[in-house]
Amino acid sequence: MKMSKLKEIKRESYFTRVRKRWKRRDVLEINPDHSKYIFTQYIRCGLRTFFLKTTEFKSEIKTEDYQKIVVDEAICDLNNTAVHFHSYAPAVFELLRKRVGLTSTEYTDTVAPPESDTFYLEFLSNSKSGQNFFFTNNKQFMIKTITKEEVRFFLEIMPRYIDHFMQFPHSLLVKFVGLHSIKLRKLQRPVYFVVMLSIFYPGERISHRYDIKACQIGRFTKPAPDGSNVVVVLKEKNWNDRKLELGQQREWFLKQIKLDTEFLKEIGVLDYSLLVGIQPLHHDELKEGKDLPTIFTRVQKSVAKTQSVYQWPQQVSSSSSLSTSPGSSQKYRKPDDEIDSTSLPGMINDGEGPSSSSSKPSDSHTCLEVETGELEECSSKLTNGHAGRANGISKKIHSNGNAVKSSTFQKSSPSSIEMHCPFAKVSEEEAIQQNRRLLPNYKNELHVLDGEERYYMGVIDFFTRYTFKKKLENAYKRILYPPLSFSTVPPDVFARRFNKYWEEHTK
């Protein structure tokens, strides 16, 4: 007997509710009954007021943009309270958001939703940082309070931080996409907070989470009891002799860790850690990432000049000007304005022929047919984890000529296929120099590596400097503990130990 329409709707609604509860088993909604509800609503109102007022950012980043502070006053729609809101270096963060594929509308509506009943989420974890941190409603971004000293330090190193990401677009350093402060009264101390990409997004299937500093003292966490909703972030002594099974991506991973820790050593910080989330992969997921259409899509976004996390492709105009971050000779391409993804260079609408202007060679890359055998060769080279090694083959895909009619693979003959082309890609030399890898066809790809399992990874908490106080702490702990077993060591020692740990715990 068939289920009635009403029962079918009720059944679907029930399973939808169960799925939502499962996805949010590790978080708590910050609703009107929550002690932090008012605080999060002040943040929402302040962020939304700022982004709705600021519709355009400067097209080029200059030194003064790193020091700019925009002051706004927002009226919270919850209780009509005036909120004094400061945004630090807004043009710089807008640049970084575009580099990771975030549109202004998407970012605003996610971080500062228009409705007050779209609640933020409190992360239920065993963290002892003492700071407040919570997620946006979809867990895509984390908002974390920081101290005034950390703000000063971040603003000081920001040009170098941005430059590092421009030089190494696939860096594992956490991506900060906003820095702000709020206060209610003029004489009140402001609360500072950063907005960052969540490393564990989307992560509903993550089975284990680790925070690894590569030391031993105080690095054990008691696992959560059965049935608990608290997500326990485990540490080195819980990790024991486990190894990340990265396979052919191990070489890329170790090199990127070395590049990132070299940067952290240069800015004089220590006590950072690598967050690792482990998610088992089903057989069909392992197979899916290796078919030719998926491989080609991954190749395109891995070597695109405009870096992407959640959206690809994006427009990169051949006439874009180049900007340079302060203190660096490295030039990078300025992101263009947002465009309709249905109208991209190298594409024409179905049923339309090439326009008259297409007969004239242009700087935009268009596509020709490529032999299936070349794609298979490209696939086998790219699956070793390094984007640059197959770029020489992928050059055969690009030529100034007529565009194809679709962005999908279309069978045109037994021996060839048509495909969408990457229209602004880096050269083979650039890809190797920037240590690019073959990104997964998945959300949050800058922080996701697929090996035998899916790994969510990112370097966090790199605002601790090796001050005189830390040097005294180091001297004291050297008396109590074995050498190099604690986290408070000089930045160069910390970086060297960190690299050695991951060399020994990957395969």
Q: What is the pLDDT of residues 374-385, one digit of tens each?
A: 444 444 454 455
Q: Is the pLDDT of residue 278 over 60?
A: yes
SS3 36: coil
Q: Is the pLDDT of residue 282 over 50?
A: yes
Question: What own/partner pairs with CB < 8 Å and gap ≥ 24 does 470-475 have?
Answer: 470/270
Which range, of 5-14, 74-83, 425-434, averages the lowest pLDDT?
5-14
* Confidence class for position 386, pLDDT limits 50, 70, 90: low
| Beta-carbon count within 10 A of 52 CB | 12
pLDDT at 285: 78
Question: Tokens for 337?
Answer: 């304005």
* Confidence class for position 409, pLDDT limits 50, 70, 90: very low
Q: Is the pLDDT of residue 104 over 60?
A: yes
Q: State the virtual CA torsion across 283, 286, 288, 290 in degrees, nearest 10.
A: -140
Top pLDDT among 348 and 87 is at 87
pLDDT at 350: 33
The most confident of the ranges 216-225, 327-336, 401-410 is: 216-225
* Confidence class for position 317, pLDDT limits 50, 70, 90: very low
Which range, of 118-132, 148-162, 352-366, 432-446, averages the lowest pLDDT?
352-366
Contact present, 420 and 310 (Cβ < 8 Å):
no
pLDDT at 325: 44
Question: What own/partner pairs with CB < 8 Å and gap ≥ 24 does 38-41 have?
Answer: 38/78, 38/79, 39/132, 39/191, 40/119, 40/120, 40/134, 41/76, 41/78, 41/116
pLDDT at 328: 45
Residue pointed to by tokens 């003959």: 413
Residue-averaged pLDDT of the chain: 75
> Could you tell me the pTM of the whole model?
0.76
Q: Is the pLDDT of residue 179 over 50?
A: yes
pLDDT in tens, 28-66: 899 999 999 999 999 999 999 998 887 666 667 889 999
* Confidence class for position 188, pLDDT limits 50, 70, 90: confident
Q: Is the pLDDT of residue 398 over 50?
A: no
Q: Is the pLDDT of residue 232 over 70?
A: yes
